[in-house]
């Protein structure tokens, strides 16, 4: 997984690029009608029930825009919220609040939706050992905050990107000349590059699982698009040799049944690619 420093750098890049994209050479609406020394206060208002996420990110945005902006927090990341709740007050220069407004709302609405869906999926697995994983099916440019939201919602992060974990999937296997060839080449490459990163291998059948198990050094087997009975057989076959992960079109109607097959993880791209923003609003206070 990526380091704390790498993650912080990703957040800094998101904020810097988002403000560049949104503000450009100036917020001319605010600049034209609000005095530069005018002070204001606003509240973040919840307009839909869910799990709030992005409070700490919002603080980073406000600080980036204007270090003198002050945030008074009432509800923290990961807490349940309902219509009418106030998450925080932000006070300081009115121009600064308005400059940060859209990025804060866009990020928090998206993050809260992801956290809410993740919490729902996690709740469906209550009483099992199975944990929910996200994927790389994220919005380009804002992966860090989307994966952060999954954590806030009670899920776990899969690899962050292509560089922090090896994941040998069907196309890699076919291009490399088979499972054993792909694993052998991968271990040789990692040794030569002195890279200490984990290896996951995707299996499309029980026969492929047997071949994966004949190779050492695999951290997790991805049991992809198996039905329930096949998944149970796969879990029994793998035993304690390595960790197991189910994926492939798993949704809220099927996730519990896959968990009951005994897998360690279930990965779902839907956590990040199929959510509707939670309704939030930043309103000025007189």
pLDDT in tens, 65-119: 999 999 999 999 999 999 999 999 999 999 999 999 999 999 999 999 999 999 9
Residue 45 has a pLDDT of 98
> In this structure, how many other beta carbons lie within 10 angstroms of the beta carbon of residue 38?
11
Residue 178 has a pLDDT of 97
Domains defined for the chain, CATH in brackets: 4-116+276-284 (3.90.1170.20), 123-273 (3.20.20.70)
- In b/e form, how buried is each residue of 200-239, taking b as 16+ CB within 10 angstroms? bbbbbeeebbebbbebeebebbbbbbbeeeebbebbebbe
**Quick one: CA dihedral 122, 125, 129, 132, positive or negative?**
negative
List 137, 151, 185, 204, catalytic entry: 137
Report the pLDDT averaged over residues 31-40.
Answer: 97
Report the pLDDT averaged over residues 6-33.
Answer: 97
Please state, for a pLDDT cut of 70, what percent of the chain lies above it.
Answer: 100
Residue 167 has a pLDDT of 98
> In this structure, how many other beta carbons lie within 10 angstroms of the beta carbon of residue 1?
14
Binding-site residues for substrate, in ranges, read 102, 135-137, 159, 169, 202, 224, 247-249, 268-270
Indicate if the pLDDT at residue 286 is higher than 90. Answer: no
List 134, 202, 208, 245, catalytic entry: 202
> In this structure, how many other beta carbons lie within 10 angstroms of the beta carbon of residue 92?
20
Binding-site residues, in ranges, read 102, 135-137, 159, 169, 202, 224, 247-249, 268-270
Q: Is 110 a catalytic site residue?
A: no
List 43, 47, 59, 102, catalytic entry: 102
Q: Is 211 a catalytic site residue?
A: no
Residue 65 has a pLDDT of 98
List 169, 232, 233, 256, catalytic entry: 169
Tens-place pLDDT, residues 143-157? 999 999 999 999 999
Indicate if the pLDDT at residue 177 is higher than 80. Answer: yes
Q: Is 102 a catalytic site residue?
A: yes
Please state, for a pLDDT cut of 90, what percent of the chain lies above it.
Answer: 99
Q: Which distant-in-sequence residues (6+ apart) come within 8 Å of 130 by Cβ?
A: 258, 259, 263, 264, 265, 266
Pairing of strands 50-51, 80-81: antiparallel
Q: Is 279 a catalytic site residue?
A: no
Closest CA to 134 of 148, 124, 123: 148
Indicate if the pLDDT at residue 1 is higher than 80. Answer: no
- Scan for tokens 């998206």, then name that residue: 110
């Amino acid at each position: 997984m990526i380091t704390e420093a790498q993650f912080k750098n990703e957040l800094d890049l998101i904020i810097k690029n988002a403000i560049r994209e949104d503000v450009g050479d100036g917020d001319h609406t605010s600049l034209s009608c609000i005095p530069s020394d005018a002070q204001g206060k606003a509240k973040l208002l919840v307009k839909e029930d869910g799990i709030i996420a992005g409070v700490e990110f919002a603080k980073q945005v406000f600080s980036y825009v204007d270090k003198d902006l002050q945030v008074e927090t009432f509800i923290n990341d990961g807490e349940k919220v309902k219509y009418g709740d106030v998450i925080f007050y932000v006070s300081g220069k009115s121009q600064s609040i308005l400059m940060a407004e859209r990025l804060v709302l866009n990020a928090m609405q998206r993050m809260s939706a992801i956290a809410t869906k993740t919490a729902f999926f996690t709740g469906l697995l209550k009483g099992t050992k199975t944990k929910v994983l996200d994927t790389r099916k994220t919005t380009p440019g804002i992966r860090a905050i989307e994966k952060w939201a999954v954590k806030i919602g009670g899920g776990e992060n899969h690899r962050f990107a292509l560089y922090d974990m090896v994941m040998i999937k069907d196309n890699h296997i076919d291009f490399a000349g088979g499972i054993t060839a792909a694993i052998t080449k991968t271990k040789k490459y990692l040794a030569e590059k002195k890279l200490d990163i984990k290896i996951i291998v995707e299996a499309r059948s029980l026969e492929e699982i047997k071949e994966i198990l004949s190779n050492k050094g695999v951290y997790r087997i991805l049991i992809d698009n198996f039905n329930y009975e096949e998944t149970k057989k796969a879990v029994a076959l793998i035993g304690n040799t390595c960790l197991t992960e189910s994926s492939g079109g798993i949704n809220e109607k099927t996730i519990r049944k896959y968990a009951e097959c005994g897998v360690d993880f279930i990965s779902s791209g839907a956590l990040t690619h199929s959510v509707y923003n939670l309704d939030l609003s930043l309103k000025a206070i007189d």
